[in-house]
Amino acid sequence: MMHTKSIYFPSLQNVQEAAENLKGVASKTPLSENRNLSKQFNANIFFKREDLQVVRSYKIRGAYNKISFLNDDQKQRGIVCASAGNHAQGVALSCKLIAIKGTIFMPSTTPNQKIEQVKMFGEAFIDIIIEGDTFDDAFAAAQKECRAKNKTFIHPFNDEKVIEGQATVGLEILEQTSEKIDYVFVPVGGGGLSAGLSSVFQNLSPETKIIGVEPEGAPSMLTSINNKINTSLDKIDPFVDGAAVKKVGDLNFEICQKNLAQMVTVPEGKICQTILDLYNKDAIVAEPAGALSIAALDLFADEIIGKNVVCVVSGSNNDITRTAEIKERALLFASLKHYFIVKFPQRAGALKEFVVDILGPNDDITHFEYTKKSNRTNGAAVVGLQLKASKDLLPLIQRMKENNFFGDYLNDKPDLFQFLV
């Protein structure tokens, strides 16, 4: 592999050292064939099940590897991290196992379930400080703590030892199969996993195509690769919380720019449908970032026929309270859920007429909310409808217009729509 003085690439020796380091700490997660998808795509689709990892994500690998390399003085002073999710859990468990004190900064928006998980993994070795409303607020507070008390900051992705720890996922995949691997689909957030894994494959299986996958609402790596410089996004959709970052790591960008065969994005709604499919068909609980790699397979349906394909299922820390939103986003993506302002004439039987004559036989009302009466002849309501098939939409709108029920269509009006979903 080509090395330049200015760009860091994880060496195979360092990744093997990380793997040795992680023995007895991180699980060697299964590489298992998914028969449903193998049949669907006429390919051999394997899942690397990091959702079954000790802290239910691969993040323990990088966190533990980094912390274990600290010198005695650094361990004595303690460590700091900022995270609202999987990295915090990896750091917390690492602190307990190595017996050093850690301070974990989390934003106030962090679900209570995740705070409790971090406490469970870290026990008496960690302190949790809730700071600010966003990850950036927590990150700034963590940096301030490091400077004030001379503690070591454990970065979630932009760190050599973290990257080498995450790279052990790639090492395991190659150890677990003797088959030639044609494609690996890997989720990309800050880029630690994709940078590490792709470097291992460059060394040991350079003909394998590594495909990076980001959520459509947070395409920080794709934007940076297109711009040929690491680029910070002004605004992102935070829904895929494990992979929604405004800026990827500088180290990771340089590595991924060289190693990835392709970088693609997947709509959040498609990711949600994939989460539901994994649960319903395979009893796999994946978080949004964990479903990213699988959600991208459709984009490569023609290319992967007859090929050996690995999808990294990166984590399963899904908050059950998000289930309704996941289902809603999936239905919206499939054009099966639609919101309207419906104008009801102020006369007896108008609602019955709407249900009997306007709605199709398979259409369901899922949301109904009267708005303030605008005039005496019409009463407006916000109505959510779930259709059996997306082709039913245009005929429905036609019937509403012909019978003077149509007020407005809200799905394509984001300012109004955000209050409904």
For the chain, domain boundaries: 12-58+161-327, 61-159, 335-417
Fold agreement (12-58+161-327, 335-417): no
What pLDDT, on a 0 to 100 scale, did the predictor assign at position 4? 47
Yes or no: is domain 335-417 CATH 3.30.70? Answer: yes
What is the distance between the alpha carbons of residues 161 and 167, in angstroms, rounded to a whole number?
10
Q: What is the CATH number of domain 12-58+161-327?
A: 3.40.50.1100
Percent with pLDDT over 90 in the chain: 76
Q: CA dist 1 to 11, 151, 205, 255, 263, Å?
A: 9, 35, 11, 12, 21
What pLDDT, on a 0 to 100 scale, did the predictor assign at position 107? 87
What is the distance between the alpha carbons of residues 298 and 292, in angstroms, rounded to a whole number?
12
Residue 135 has pLDDT above 80, yes or no: no
For the chain, give the mean pLDDT.
Answer: 92
What is the distance between the alpha carbons of residues 340 and 358, in angstroms, rounded to a whole number?
13
Q: What is the CATH number of domain 61-159?
A: 3.40.50.1100
What pLDDT, on a 0 to 100 scale, did the predictor assign at position 193? 98
| Residue 291 or 237, more confident | 291
Residue 412 has pLDDT above 50, yes or no: yes
pLDDT tens-place string over residues 146-205: 999 999 999 999 999 999 999 999 999 999 999 999 999 999 999 999 999 999 999 999
pLDDT tens-place string over residues 199-250: 999 999 999 999 999 999 999 999 999 999 999 999 988 888 888 889 999 9
Task: Give the residue-averaged pLDDT of 4-23.
Answer: 90
pLDDT tens-place string over residues 344-358: 887 788 889 999 999
Residue carrying the six token digits 């994005």: 265
Residue 415 has pLDDT above 70, yes or no: no
Reported pTM: 0.89
